[in-house]
Amino acid sequence: MGSAAAQALQIGAAAFAIALTGAMAPGPLLTVAVEQTVRHGKGAAMLLMVGHALLEAALLVGLAFGLKTFLLLPAVTTGLSLVGGAFLLWMGGTMLFDTVRGRITLDLLAGERQPSRLGPVARGAAVSLANPYWIIWWATIGLKLASDSIAIGPIGVGAFFLGHEIADFAWYFAVALAVASGRRFLSDRVYRIVIGACASFLLYLGVRFALTGAVALAATGGLG
């Protein structure tokens, strides 16, 4: 038992370190977390992470039952790039359009009562799934750690998942706290610039993912 616990501790530490480096890399989830924190406070970013964690829990179960083979199929990675790119283009385009048209301002934010079409938990899962590199990470690096944890048993799987999610939550809480601390000093102009910058980066990622999928589709002659 002691040996299993020691191995689980090592797995948890490795999962924490590797997940932290991944969480710190700029990507759609980080961009949306900044945007949501500016608009709704740091609690919104934490709810995004709940959705992200639930999706990863489901994926971990799937990997234990052989989902890796399916995820690494060329047709699947190409499809994820195209669909994910389209989703990010829609999200970024909507944000940018609302910002340019003056539909996103601090005054409107103060009186905002209408919930988003996509709740923060669902948004966290959707944005994560829209990133094909997230899927590839889990089907490669994540799978190796997950396999090692499964070999140890439930204690190993628990340590791996907790280590991974603690790293994600710790980093995003730090980011949300930093953004929320400066939120009170935002002018309406700076606020629109921040939201516009987030929208532009999402558009860039959407174009990049969609082009990657389109090139792969053209090279293979289709998804079949």
All structural domains of the chain with their residue ranges = 2-76+102-186
Mean model confidence pLDDT for the chain: 84
pLDDT grade for 115, boundaries at 50, 70 and 90: very low
Please give the pLDDT value at position 113: 44
pLDDT grade for 117, boundaries at 50, 70 and 90: low
Contacts of 5 (CB under 8 A, 6+ apart): 155
- The mean pLDDT value for 179-186 works out to 76
Residue 95's closest CA among 194, 177, 176?
Answer: 194
pLDDT grade for 116, boundaries at 50, 70 and 90: low
Please give the pLDDT value at position 192: 77
DSSP state of 104: S
pLDDT grade for 2, boundaries at 50, 70 and 90: low
Of 19-23, 67-71, 97-101, which has the strongest mean pLDDT? 19-23
Residues 206, 92: Cα–Cα separation, whole Å = 8
Please give the pLDDT value at position 110: 44
pLDDT grade for 151, boundaries at 50, 70 and 90: confident
Residues 211, 224: Cα–Cα separation, whole Å = 19
pTM of the model: 0.79
Residue 171 CA, distance from chain mean position: 12
Q: How many residues belong to the chain? A: 224
